[in-house]
C-alpha cells in the first residue's frame, strides 16, 4: 500500500509509537526469558528461584502491556486527529 504524505507532527507521533513498540517487545522478551527460568527452577523443585523469576516475569509483562498500550494510543491519535496540521508543512 503506498504511503500518503505525512506531516511532521504525524511523523513524530509514529516515531514515538515505534519507540513504545520496541520497549514493549523488549519487556515481552524479558518476561519470556524469566518465565523459562521459572519453569526450569520449578523442574528442580527450587521454590525460591521459581518465585523470583516469576515475579520478574510478571513485572516485565506489566511494563510490556503498558508500552504496547501507549503505542496503540499514539498510533490511534494520528488516525483520529481532529487538528489541522497542514500549516506545519
Q: Is residue 14 over pLDDT 70?
A: yes
What's the angle, vertex CA 85, arms to CA 83 and CA 89, rounded to 5? 180
Sorting pLDDT into bands at 50, 70 and 90, what band is 13?
Answer: confident
The pTM of this model reads 0.77
- The proportion of the chain whose per-residue pLDDT surpasses 70, expressed as a percent, equals 83
Q: Are 64 and 27 in contact (CB under 8 A)?
A: yes
Q: How many whole angstroms separate alpha carbon 27 and alpha carbon 8?
A: 29
Q: Is residue 40 over pLDDT 90?
A: yes
What are the pLDDT digits (tens) for 67-80? 999 999 998 887 66
Q: What is the mean pLDDT of residues 2-13?
A: 77
Amino acid at each position: 500500500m503506498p504511503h500518503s504524505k505525512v506531516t511532521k507532527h504525524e511523523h513524530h507521533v509514529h516515531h514515538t509509537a515505534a519507540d513504545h513498540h520496541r520497549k514493549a517487545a523488549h519487556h515481552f522478551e524479558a518476561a519470556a526469558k524469566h518465565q523459562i527460568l521459572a519453569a526450569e527452577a520449578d523442574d528442580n523443585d527450587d521454590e525460591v528461584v521459581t518465585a523470583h523469576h516469576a515475579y520478574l516475569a510478571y513485572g516485565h509483562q506489566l511494563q510490556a502491556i503498558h508500552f504496547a498500550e501507549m503505542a496503540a494510543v499514539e498510533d490511534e491519535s494520528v488516525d483520529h486527529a481532529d487538528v489541522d496540521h497542514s500549516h506545519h508543512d
